[in-house]
Structure 1
Amino acid sequence: MPSKKDIRPVLNLNFSGATEAFQNITLRPILKLQHSIIILMFKSWAVKHKIRLSSITVEGLKEIWEKSLSKNNAIKNQLLGITIGHFTEEEYETYALNSSEYNKRIFTMIKQRLFDSFEEIKNITE
């Protein structure tokens, strides 16, 4: 049976410190692995809140993130859950030592992933 690390994409990224190493070795590959789920979660959230994805602009997406998603604890907890659920025990121990910083990094990377996937999101059939 493959380990949690075996199913992650391999990313060759540079880093300079322990926090950045955790981000690039653990968080980024997990978020890349979970990309389609992140997009589906956003789509489900948008449909539930009657947001017409086909007609939003990238500025609209940024506004939606800042005004709604960033304040929605339920979706934030789901996004954290689909990330943390892929940690090994050792990775969780590292995460737990500095969870506030890692949570900020997770949300920043997810936000950027949504913005970078704007066309994919916009073209999702509602």
Structure 2
Amino acid sequence: MISKKDIRPELNLSSLTPDENFQNKVLRPILKLQHDILILTFKNWCVKQKVKLSDTKKDNFREFLDKSFSKNIVIRNLILGIIIGQFTSDEFLEYQKNASEYNRRIFTMAKQRLFDSFDEIKKDGNS
């Protein structure tokens, strides 16, 4: 039987602290695995919010991401669900020990991934 860990991309990153280790061994591979879902979820959320990204310049996109993640609980919970839903039971227990720090790391990495995917998000004309 294939496990959740088996389908994740393997990233060879060094870690100095337990938090970094969890980030590099669990969070980053899951974010990479879930990249397409993250993009589609964000695009769908923008459509529902009636946000016109076609008029947005990349310079303003980071500010939009920061504002969206800080003020909108819906997009925050969607992103967390996409990531946490890929945890194993042991990973979830580890996550619960320091959830606020791991959430901060998840949001930072997700925002960067979305920012780096600006052209992909903006295309297709549906947002």
Q: Aligned-pair distance for 1:116?
A: 0.8
Structure 1, 1-10 or 116-125: larger mean CA deviation: 116-125
User: Whole-Å Cα distance in 1 between the matches of residues 2 and 65 of structure 2?
Assistant: 35
The answer to whether the aligner puts 1:102 opposite 2:94 as a matched pair is no
User: Whole-Å Cα distance in 1 between the matches of residues 66 and 20 of structure 2?
Assistant: 25
The answer to whether the aligner puts 1:11 opposite 2:41 as a matched pair is no
Name the structure 1 match of 2:38: 38
Name the structure 1 match of 2:73: 73
Name the structure 1 match of 2:62: 62
List per-residue Cα deviations over 1:34-79 (Å, max 9, x = no partner): 1011101110111112222222111221222222332111121111
Runs of 4+ in 1 over 6 A off after TM superposition: none
The answer to whether the aligner puts 1:82 opposite 2:77 as a matched pair is no
Aligned residues: 126
Q: What is the identity, as a one-letter code, of the residue corresponding to 1:64?
A: F
Q: Aligned-pair distance for 1:20?
A: 0.2
Alignment root-mean-square deviation, CA:
1.2
User: Whole-Å Cα distance in 1 between the matches of residues 96 and 10 of structure 2?
Assistant: 24
| Structure 2: gaps spanning 5 or more residues | none
Name the structure 1 match of 2:24: 24
| Structure 1: gaps spanning 5 or more residues | none
SS of alignment partner, residue 6 of structure 1? helix
Identity, % of aligned pairs?
A: 58
TM-score calculated relative to the size of structure 2: 0.93
Is the contact made by 2:66 and 2:111 (CA closer than 8 Å) also made in structure 1?
no
Is the contact made by 1:53 and 1:123 (CA closer than 8 Å) also made in structure 2?
no
Name the structure 2 match of 1:112: 112
Q: What is the identity, as a one-letter code, of the residue corresponding to 1:69?
A: F
TM-score calculated relative to the size of structure 1: 0.93
Q: What is the identity, as a one-letter code, of the residue corresponding to 2:80?
A: L
